[in-house]
A and B are shown apart, each in its own frame.
Chain A
Amino acid sequence: MAFDVLEPGLSTTAQDQGRIGYYKFGLPQGGSMDQYSATLANRLVGNTVSDAVLECTYIGPKLVSTTNAVIAVTGAPVDVFVNGQLVPEYERIELLAGDELKFGVIKGGTKYFIAVHGGIDVPEVLGSRSTYPIGAIGGVDGRALVAGDVVPVGVGSDNGLPVVTSIAVDDRPVFSKEVKVRVMLGLYDHNLSAKGLDSLLNSEWTLTPVADRMGLRYSGPGVEWKDREQPFGAGQDPSNIVDAGYAVGSIQIPGGTQPIILHRDAVSGGGYAMVATVISADMDLVARCAPGTKTRFVAVNMEEALAARQENNARAARIWS
């Protein structure tokens, strides 16, 4: 069972929940950028949360199913076509052998996800099927799909498909052009001047087109740093530090001008001051933002961050109950 790739799309990769446990060696966790959307697709087709899906970026692939298959498409709003006929997102779709799946122009957000009963069955590398193109591991030959690829599909559980055939509108993610992203300050917010910190937290930042699985760059008023003598090894620019580990979701501001949120495929360390970190509960929200999205960074404390994570976990648990 497989998909034949007629057209690959802009950047279509196999992703799962990520490659956990190797960040300390410099290997990012990766995984679906918008984990919640990916899990909804898996839910509809009777997979487990950990099955791999195809993550499509802006322009989706054109695929032909070699056998009958059960699929679902979730995530960013887009028209889905089977043999040229419009079919719904967020609903289970049955494909017959030879059916062609393709997509229209994306209507918001950045990424949509194709789950198939049985999961995308590329080999596991270090415990994950997620594609990490920079490291050339995971997925199909460690890279995004190309025309002519044959994407293997696994054998699903024979417990039958779930009763649920569509995701309720209230449970679907929202794709907004204006978002509030919750962050925790640190580790290097003390390098910002009071004016710089005020600028970070009380200005509107606009997501630029420079955004991918590694990071998302924002334009805005910039920030100001405290005057300090740069320590040995830190470089001359006040946005530089002596190299340190980057928390997942760190915000760095090279040169003090354009903040970058480090996302799922980002490096694990380097020499830029991390002024704040996006809370884990809002990483999916950041992943859904299209270029031009007006963004405000809202500081929360650890208790609020953990409460938000619990809220997300509770929602996911309800979807899977």
Chain B
Amino acid sequence: MGAPSGFRVRFHSQPLDESELMSRQIISPLPGIFYRKPGPGKDPYINEGDTVSAGQTIGLVEIMKQFSEVRAEFDGVLEKFEVDDFGVVNPGDVIALTS
């Protein structure tokens, strides 16, 4: 007999599992140039310290003349950008940290 499904006991000493750590980061899935604004002269999508909600666009990555929106996957506060505006990103790079 295993533990009842849908029920897990978590001990405080247990390290966070990877999915929880990952959930605090916004990762670039592709390489390219990262932009914080939707276009020249426009306001940034979001600033450090702003609240962010799941699905919200926080920036763009340009590759192969295509602009892909980078979105948050969860609600929280955008604490810090790890990549500068116009910075080069690679797949797996952390673009921003949220809490």
A residues near B, CB below 8 A?
Answer: 10-11, 57-59, 105-107, 209, 211-212, 290-292
Contacts and interface: CB of A to CB of B under 8 A. Distances in A.
Interface stretch (B4-12, B37-45, B73-81, B84-92): B84-92
B87 to A, nearest CB: 11
A105 B64 contact: no
Interface stretch (B13-21, B25-33, B46-54): B25-33
A140 to B, nearest CB: 18
- Report which residue of A10, A11, A211 has the largest number of chain B beta carbons within 10 angstroms of its beta carbon: A10
Given A58-B91, A107-B91, A291 B32 contact: yes
B29 A58 contact: yes
B47 to A, nearest CB: 25
Contacts of A212: 64-65
A58 B63 contact: yes
Given A209-B63, A212-B64, A10 B88 contact: no
B62 interface: yes
B68 interface: yes
A59 B31 contact: no
A10 B31 contact: no
Given A10-B63, A10-B64, A57-B64, A105 B33 contact: no
A106 B88 contact: no
12 contacts: A10-B64, A11-B66, A58-B29, A58-B91, A59-B30, A105-B27, A105-B92, A106-B29, A107-B91, A209-B33, A211-B64, A212-B64
Nearest to B93: A105
Nearest to B88: A209
- Report which residue of A57, A105, A211 has the largest number of chain B beta carbons within 10 angstroms of its beta carbon: A105
A105 B63 CA distance: 15
Nearest to B30: A58
Q: What is the size category of the interface that chain B forms with chain A?
A: 10 to 19
A205 to B, nearest CB: 16
Nearest to B89: A209
A10 B68 contact: yes
B65 A106 contact: no
Contacts of A11: 64, 66
A209 B31 contact: yes
A291 B62 CA distance: 12
A106 B66 contact: no
B98 to A, nearest CB: 18
Contact of B90 (A57, A59, A211, A291): A291
A209 B88 CA distance: 8
Given A58-B91, A105-B91, A105-B92, A290 B66 contact: no
Nearest to A78: B91
Contacts of A291: 31-32, 63, 88, 90
B89 to A, nearest CB: 9
Nearest to A104: B29
B65 A292 contact: no
A208 to B, nearest CB: 9
Nearest to A144: B66
Contacts of A106: 29-30, 91
B43 to A, nearest CB: 25
Contacts of A107: 91-92
Contacts of A209: 31-33, 62-63, 88
A197 to B, nearest CB: 29
Contacts of B66: 10-11
A12 B65 CA distance: 15
A258 to B, nearest CB: 15
A209 B68 CA distance: 14
A176 B29 CA distance: 19
B18 to A, nearest CB: 13
